[in-house]
Structure 1
Amino acid sequence: MDEDVRLTAWVRGRVQQVGFRWFTRANALEIGGLVGFALNLDDGRVQVVAEGRRESCHRLLDWLRSDDTPGRVDGVTEIWDTPRGGYEGFAIR
């Protein structure tokens, strides 16, 4: 069953000042049906929140863990939850 979910992912590595948030947004828009945001954190990580179909969120998570991202990803930690809503599109924060 491909229900709506909320994915929150924290991406570690060299992921700031390399266009990571921009490419994350572009990838989310290419996948389609995802809303949420990508945000630089003070500790050097990027937080990604995506809501949409489970399959679409898994595709975004697979991309975050792939070698196709800008910079260098050392690891991704994720949690899954029910959608909270309130997003207009996919934003860079």
Structure 2
Amino acid sequence: MDENGSARAVIWVHGRVQGVGFRWWTRARALELGLVGHARNAGDGRVEVVAQGEAGKIRQLMELLEEKPSRHLRPGQVETCATTWGPPREDLRGFIEK
């Protein structure tokens, strides 16, 4: 994958990531990286992060999400992340918390 090419990733974040400010923190990091998409709580305790933009920037966000220990004051406790990649979508604008 071309690191400068546009891509979309769906990242499922496992751990203690609900009710601790994790979605807000993720949104702030994504906006700093120039990404669009969303972060939303799933019914099973995970957080779904959809990030779209330059593949290299998405990888930077993934590193921040998975960083152990977090040097960036990430709230919560991330155990693992599972990511699937796909083509960018035309309908994504901004980065929101759902």
- Shorter-chain TM-score category? over 0.9
State how far apart, in whole Å, the 2-side matches of 1:20 and 1:86 are.
24
**Which amino acid in structure 1 is aligned with residue 91 of structure 2?**
G
Letter in 2 for 1:19: G
Which segment is superposed worse, 59-68 or 34-43? Answer: 59-68
Q: Which residue of 1 aligns with 2:57?
A: 56
CA distance in 2, matches of 1:85, 1:56: 18
In structure 2, distance between residues paired with 1:59 and 1:86: 23
Q: TM-score, normalised by structure 2?
A: 0.90
When the two structures are superposed, what TM-score results if normalisation uses the length of structure 1? 0.95
Deviation at 1:55?
A: 0.7
**Number of corresponding residues:** 92
Percent of counterpart pairs with the same letter?
46
Counterpart code for 1:86: D
* 1:20 partner amino acid: F
**1:20-47 Cα deviation digits (max 9, x unpaired):** 0000000011112x11000000000000
Tell me which residue corresponds to 1:30.
Answer: 32
Deviation at 1:85, TM superposition (A): 2.3
Taking the aligned partners of 2:39 and 2:50, their CA distance within structure 1 comes to 7
